[in-house]
Chain A
Amino acid sequence: MLPSSLRRFTSARVGLGRVGTAQPSGAQLAFNAAHAAARDAVWSLLDTQALVAALPGPVLRVRSQARDRREYLLRPDLGRKLHPEDAAMLAGHAAPGSLVFLVADGLCATGVQAHAPALIRAVAPLLGLPLGPVVVAEQARVALGDAVGEALGAAAVAVLIGERPGLSATDSLGCYLTWAPRIGRTDAERNCISNIRPEGMPPAEAAPKLAWLVRAAMELGETGVALKDESPNVPLIAP
């Protein structure tokens, strides 16, 4: 039996064969192609116009204080802060008691562009509290949701953000739910659903999970480590 027969058991790059000690040219080029796709995904930009058109309801647009991709990568602190002009703009759209969606590019815009509208449309009818404005953010980290949620007076914010691309997936979306968003909240005060994408957790499966978390957060009055995810388990589809 050859090592290549191991390939059916895992998505890992097993049984590649070898030339001397090196990988055969085909395997090496396939790796390069996957890395190139991941690199391009990191530097991909949100097509905000198309995204706004695909999203339901009134959509607001904001920026973080990171001016470009390089600064965003080097200064995570700036990606968590709202541009001062946008903070003032949001104050004029207060939505007390609502759930606000922040749709953010994060480390990869591809998945946000592709999956965020479907997730929001699927979850909206399942929510137990009013839907606030959908906010689209550029050069954003997860904690930008705290500033946005606070400016809008939201009951909760759900940040839908592009996850760091790997070689096997460049369109993964993460969802971070924070109850009573305020600047200074920590990651321990959030609940997360990760790997949202058709081959991971499809948006149609993530939607009931998120709705369950929102209802649980309303009852508990908080999110984070105190809120254990006991939603009915939908098995991950094996890659």
Chain B
Amino acid sequence: MAFAHTLGGTRYVFDDLRALMARATPFRSGDALAGVAAASAAERVAAQYALADLPLRHFLHEAVLPYEADDVTRLILDSHDTAAFAPVAHLTVGGFRDWLLAEADTAALTALAPGLTPEMVAAVSKIMRISDLVQVSQKCRVITRFRNTIGLPGRLSIRLQPNHPTDDARGVAASVLDGLMMGAGDAVIGVNPATDNIETVQRLLSMLDEVRARFDIPTQCCVLSHVTTTLLAMERGSPVDLVFQSIGGTQGVNESFGVSLALLAEAHDAARAQKRGENVMYFETGQGSALSADAHHGVDQQTIEARAYAVARQYAPLLVNTVVGFIGPEYLFDGKQILRAGMEDHFCGKLLGLPMGVDVCYTNHAEADQDDMDTLLTCLGVAGVTYIMGIPGADDVMLAYQSTSFHDGLYARAALGKRPAPEFEAWMERVGIGATEAIPAALSPALIGLS
């Protein structure tokens, strides 16, 4: 179905929903690279007008990717909850924005989540400003549990990311201890291994589990290997708390990651069978991955990103985060584009009912620096982001990019009056973290092989 809007005497026509969504998207380099961005600023606003007039019901009748050709589309439409959708079923996209800002409260948004499709959420975000995204995100509440409780009001959790270029056990342990000393680690202690080698992954899993047990930390651990590697590690008896996987919003991008919906379901069942905790999945996403895998099919990168959240929510994850600035300047060119994308991703994930965190990050070939990250972190903190990353000095020495430091986590909590997950906070107090600059006796480095 074609859409049109006349602006300043020019009539702009958009061939289908896919084109309308793409042209309405605030500018970013990835959409230009894909050739789907609006040709002018005026065309973009015309598309936003046309999108605002579109009834939300329309998204149940026109898919951006054909039902027959894409299993993510099938998942979205087959799992749509009509009863939950009812309170907003009469609204247009523009009316939905007004409702979100003026009327919706936490209870209404929680009940609505299964009635929303990713495309509805992406569409409304395209006509919202940063302050709109912040205000609505603040009203969302998503609570998940493993060894502690994540997402309670007034809390901000941190994934401790102790990566090491050669997966050296003592190198990883040193970063873990440094992070714990600064209050990081309540979301997860999660290592990206330098290789997907199964023996290395098993060694890291055992080592992290041992550190957690020795220090008696109420948190969960994860080695972020490919889902098939983690499945094998579970089969071989390794202690697996969370199963990690990168996912995307089209069947093609998931195939490029070497995963299918059936494989994710299998991994979810296997992790639940370990009986170690309630929410057992950890997913990462990020705008641009589908274009990078040549699996975008002319859909704009933000809409595809929101579709990845429909995949994620199928498996009741403990944690989901967009790795917003990692992908590079051909998808998000500078600090402004990374800021916008990070706020959109957080908003869309939360509205769809996910425990949404953000890796506030950039690479050295993007036009961005620490000031841009401070701005995004502060905006996300006000918006109520579930968790952020914590990395020694913001410098990931294995992945060669910059994310938020342990210090940034302290800053965000202090500036915004946020606290760690309650179980973790009580543990910090018990072992004496923050009381003095010195490492407390309960966290003696010798206990974890550092002497």
Q: Name A residues whose Cβ lies closer than 8 Å to a Cβ of B.
A: 1-3, 5-7, 9-18, 20-23, 27, 31-32, 34-35, 38-39, 41-42, 73-77, 107, 164-169, 236, 238-239
A12 CB contact (under 8 Å) in B328, B393, B414, B437: B393
Contact of A21 among B164, B166, B401, B410 (CB under 8 A): B410
Residues of chain B touching chain A, judged by Cβ–Cβ distance below 8 Å, are 29, 32-33, 162-166, 168, 170-175, 177-178, 181-182, 328-330, 333, 363-365, 369-370, 391-395, 397, 400-402, 405, 407, 410-411, 414, 437-439, 444-445, 450
In the complex formed, the residue of B with least CB distance to A31 is B393
**Cβ–Cβ < 8 Å partners of A38 in chain B:** 364
Q: Is there contact, CB below 8 Å, between A75 and B330?
A: yes
Bound-state CA distance A24–B354 (Å) is 36
A238 touches B166 (CB 8 A): yes
- Given known contacts A10-B174, A16-B392, A167-B400, what 20 new A-B pairs fall within 8 Å (CB)? A3-B177, A3-B181, A5-B445, A6-B174, A6-B177, A6-B178, A10-B168, A11-B397, A12-B397, A13-B394, A14-B175, A14-B178, A14-B393, A18-B182, A18-B410, A31-B393, A35-B364, A42-B364, A107-B365, A236-B165
| Chain B min CB distance to A213 (Å) | 18
Question: Majority SS of interface residues in chain B?
Answer: mixed
* A5 proximity list for chain B (CB < 8 A): 445
> Measured between C-beta atoms, what is the minimum distance from B329 to chain A in Å?
5
CB distance from B224 to the nearest CB of A (A): 17
Please determine whether A73 and B445 come into contact, CB atoms closer than 8 angstroms: no
Find out whether the CB atom of B397 lies under 8 angstroms from the CB atom of A74: no
Inter-chain contact B437/A2, CB cutoff 8 Å: yes
**Which residues of A sit under 8 angstroms from B166, Cβ to Cβ?**
236, 238-239
Q: Is the CB of B33 within 8 A of A74?
A: yes
Give the 7 A-B CB pairs with smallest separation, nearest first.
A13-B393, A166-B400, A9-B174, A21-B410, A10-B171, A14-B178, A38-B364
**Which of B173, B370, B395, B445 has most chain A Cβ within 10 Å?**
B395
Nearest B residue to A43 via CB reads B365
Known contacts A22-B411, A75-B330; A12/B402 CB under 8 A: no
**Complex formed: what's the CA distance from A191 to B178 in Å?**
37
Say yes or no: A73 contacts B395, CB within 8 Å.
Answer: no
Report the minimum CB–CB distance from B326 to chain A (whole Å).
Answer: 11
CB <8 Å contact, A164 and B364: yes
Give the distance to chain A from B213, nearest Cβ to Cβ, in Å: 20
Would A22 and B407 count as touching, CB distance under 8 A? yes
Q: Please tell me which one of the listed residues A10, A17, A165 contacts residue B175 in the complex, with CB atoms under 8 A apart.
A: A10
- Chain A residues contacting B397 (CB-CB under 8 Å) are 10-13, 166-168, 239
Residues of B within 8 A of A10 (CB): 164, 168, 170-172, 174-175, 392, 397
Cα distance A6–B175 in the bound complex, in angstroms: 8
20 A–B contacts, CB within 8 A, in A order: A1-B438, A3-B439, A10-B168, A12-B178, A12-B392, A13-B394, A13-B405, A14-B392, A21-B410, A23-B393, A31-B393, A31-B394, A73-B365, A76-B33, A107-B365, A165-B364, A166-B395, A166-B397, A168-B397, A238-B166
Find the A residue at minimum CB distance from B446: A1
Chain A residues whose CB sits within 8 angstroms of the CB of B400 once the complex forms: 164-169
Distance (whole angstroms) from the CB of B393 to the closest CB of chain A? 3
B33: chain A residues at CB < 8 Å are 74-77
Residues of B within 8 A of A166 (CB): 364, 395, 397, 400-401
Contact assessment for B174 and A21 in the assembled complex, using a CB-CB cutoff below 8 Å: no
Q: How far is the CB of A18 from chain B (nearest CB, A)?
A: 6
The answer on a CB contact under 8 Å between A9 and B450 is yes
Say yes or no: A14-B401 contact (C-beta < 8 A), given A35-B364, A73-B365, A165-B364: no
Contacts of A74 in B (CB 8 A): 29, 32-33, 329-330, 333
CB contact between A34 and one of B363, B395, B407, B439 (< 8 Å): that residue = B395
A9 touches B173 (CB 8 A): yes
CB distance from A75 to the nearest CB of B (A): 7
Report yes or no: B330 in contact with A76, Cβ–Cβ below 8 A: yes
Task: Please judge, given known A-B contacts A14-B174, A73-B330, whether A23 and B395 are in contact too, CB under 8 Å.
Answer: no
Whether B171 contacts A42 by the Cβ 8 Å rule is: no
Report chain B residues within 8 Å CB of A1.
Answer: 438-439, 444-445
Greatest chain B CB density within 10 A among A2, A5, A12, A15 is at A12
**Which residue of chain B has its CB nearest to the CB of A165?**
B364
Question: A98 vs B172: C-alpha distance in the bound complex, in angstroms?
Answer: 44
Q: In the assembly, what is the distance between CA of A236 and CA of B407, in Å?
A: 31
Q: How many Å from the CB of B164 to the closest CB on chain A?
A: 6
- Tell me if A238 and B168 are in contact (CB < 8 A): yes
Residues of B close to A3: CB separation below 8 A: 177-178, 181, 437, 439
